Chains A and B, each alone.
Chain A
């Protein structure tokens, strides 16, 4: 029981098992996967080479996986991660990563747009696994909320399109429709974020998690959505590149906060308080949760 935790350790508190390294996995995985998808589109438009996109996307995903490797307690047993595909989304993420690098190796070596397309498809599966990893974490209310999955998918798409824009816009090699696609995924991410936040505020998460999300919301809305949209609409190539980077960086910030600030535990609750001695039973207690819950 933590002395610093109010209510005798019963109230929700920020989990400490996963830190920036876990956030790094979601950051690298989302951005890398998104870049593979939108980089593939740019490749078809002639803006980027298939090999370069495969290398960049694979490197980002690899960096994320490397972060996780640094976090696990027994890194030399990492191969055991593949033992439970029946139910564990972490195992499935690992298996999908294997497939991704197998195909990606071919895409990079052969500079093959076809193989890059397959890699991008697998990357969609990879980021889906990451969303399901969060969803299966039943001890963390802000993660088990169903809309975390579309949020993870939407931010991966936004980060990826942002990075693709940042890579292609300065050289004038952006594929046709890339800026428009960027604006669309940016708008989707904003709407999904607002929807997710509304669900949390409606009693799906402890007050501390909601407060952390609300603190993030204004800078995320302004620097992560409004400003990038305005920059792209300006039509300037350097502004489009900056917009892409801002959209990607704001997604990284979102995931960092999701893991290190909003990941409050469930806490403990009593539906009723017991009768003790000659006393009677009383109403329940649920420290750290709002009235709405």
Chain B
């Protein structure tokens, strides 16, 4: 049974936002919409102050609250754990955005561009009317994964079958793959390190593992 997950090594992430930029480039998301973003947290009190960068986005949960509340069945979960949105079914009620404890869903009601009302050439070329007025979110670059697998590639190993954010990560903090494959790097990382999942008390079973220290 395949279960795709993301692993974010908080010891490695330097907050460069390259993943954010790669995601925006790949998915042509409008201003204000970041399917992959990196939170910047200051913790502690002087003189013991820490700065932590937390990559986040859709957690592709085992029990997605967004799927439960969606009235139109636009939100679905694949057998491999990837949570998808059918833009043709979505009515844009944004109930899923309210239900998501990870603030991973976005809805824009009109086309917006980086520099006001006039789109740049790339924005004009890549604007996608079907994403206006509906919920959108990170898809784990599902089309890329499917195409890669069809071409005989392995998600998380071969870049052709791996999400753009992971491919772009400069420090190897973001990893992706099937956690159910014992020798896959993400399975090893999870097995060999201490980790947590965000808001696990909400019973969502997030597919996003944050590594924070060596050893189990």
Contact = CB atoms under 8 A, between A and B. Distances in A.
Interface of A: 1, 7-10, 15, 17-18, 68, 71-75, 77-78, 80-84, 87-91, 94, 133, 136-140, 143, 263, 265-266, 268-276, 279, 281-283, 285, 287
B216 interface: no
Contacts of A279: 50
Given A88-B70, A136-B99, A140-B98, 18 more contacts: A8-B39, A8-B42, A9-B40, A10-B40, A15-B97, A17-B107, A73-B132, A74-B133, A77-B89, A77-B91, A80-B74, A87-B67, A137-B99, A266-B102, A268-B198, A270-B43, A275-B212, A282-B48
A84 B95 CA distance: 13
Contacts, number: 177
B39 A1 contact: yes
B39 A9 contact: yes
12 contacts: A1-B37, A17-B97, A74-B134, A80-B90, A94-B71, A136-B65, A139-B98, A139-B101, A268-B41, A274-B210, A274-B212, A285-B41
Contact of B94 (A73, A81, A287): A73
Interface in B86-133: 89-95, 97-103, 107, 109, 132-133
Contacts of B95: 88, 90, 133, 137
Nearest to B203: A138
Interface string B178-216: 000000000000000000101100101000001111100
Contact of B71 (A7, A75, A83, A276): A83
Most buried by B among A74, A263, A281: A74
B44 interface: yes
Interface residues of B, number: 54
B213 A275 contact: yes
B2 interface: no
Given A7-B42, A8-B41, A139-B100, A268 B54 contact: yes
Nearest to A132: B69
B26 interface: no
A253 to B, nearest CB: 21
Contact of A266 (B74, B132, B199, B214): B199
Contacts of B73: 80, 83-84
Given A269-B198, A273-B52, A282-B43, A136 B68 contact: yes
A138 B72 contact: no
B213 A68 contact: no
A272 B94 CA distance: 32
B65 A88 contact: no
B91 A268 contact: no
B18 interface: no
B72 A77 contact: yes
A281 B93 contact: no
B89 A80 contact: yes
Contacts of A18: 94, 98
B133 to A, nearest CB: 3
B52 to A, nearest CB: 6
A282 B103 CA distance: 25
B52 A90 contact: no
